[in-house]
Copies of this chain bind each other. A is one copy, B any other.
Amino acid sequence: MPVSIQDVADRANVSISTVSRVLNRRNIVNAKTRQRVESAIRELGYSPNVFARGLMLRRSHILSLMLPDLHGEFYSEIIRGANARARELGYQLMISSVISKDDDGSELMTALGSHGLVDGLAIMISEVDDRTRDSLEKIQIPLVVLDGDIDGVEHDSVVIDQRKGAVALLRHLVNDCQVTRVVFVGGLVTNIDTMERLSAYREVMAEAKLPVGPDHVFHLDYQYDTAYELGEARVDQWAKQRVGVFAANDEMAAGLIDAAIAAGYSLPEDLAVVGFDDTRIAAMTRPRLTTVSVPMSNMGATAIDLLVQRLDDPEREPAKVTLESSLVVRESCGVK
> Which A residues are within 8 Å of any B CB, using their own CB?
2, 45, 47-52, 54-55, 60-62, 70-73, 75-76, 79-80, 83-84, 87, 92-97, 109, 111, 113-117, 138, 140, 224, 254, 258, 261, 280-281, 283-286
Contacts and interface: CB of A to CB of B under 8 A. Distances in A.
A270 B289 CA distance: 26
Contact of A109 (B47, B71, B73, B117): B47
A35 B72 CA distance: 45
Given A50-B113, A113-B62, A254 B284 contact: yes
Contacts of A109: 47
Contact of A140 (B2, B72, B96, B115): B2
Contacts of A48: 114-115
A114 to B, nearest CB: 4
Contacts of A254: 284
B96 A87 contact: yes
20 contacts: A2-B116, A47-B109, A47-B114, A47-B115, A49-B114, A50-B54, A50-B113, A54-B54, A55-B55, A61-B113, A62-B113, A70-B84, A71-B80, A72-B280, A79-B79, A84-B97, A93-B96, A224-B283, A280-B280, A284-B284
A24 to B, nearest CB: 14
A281 B113 CA distance: 36
A60 B117 CA distance: 9
Nearest to A280: B281
Contacts of A87: 96-97, 111
Given A70-B76, A111-B92, A49 B116 contact: yes
A94 B94 contact: yes
A114 B224 CA distance: 43
A231 to B, nearest CB: 15
Contacts of A95: 79, 83, 93-95
Given A72-B76, A281-B284, 15 more contacts: A48-B115, A49-B115, A50-B115, A51-B51, A51-B117, A70-B76, A70-B79, A73-B76, A76-B76, A79-B79, A80-B97, A87-B96, A87-B111, A94-B94, A280-B281
A137 to B, nearest CB: 12
A332 to B, nearest CB: 13
Given A55-B52, A281-B284, A97 B83 contact: yes
Contacts of A138: 45
Name which of A52, A116, A254, A261 has the most chain B CB atoms within 10 A of its CB: A116
Contact of A94 (B2, B62, B283, B286): B62
Contacts of A50: 51, 54, 113-117
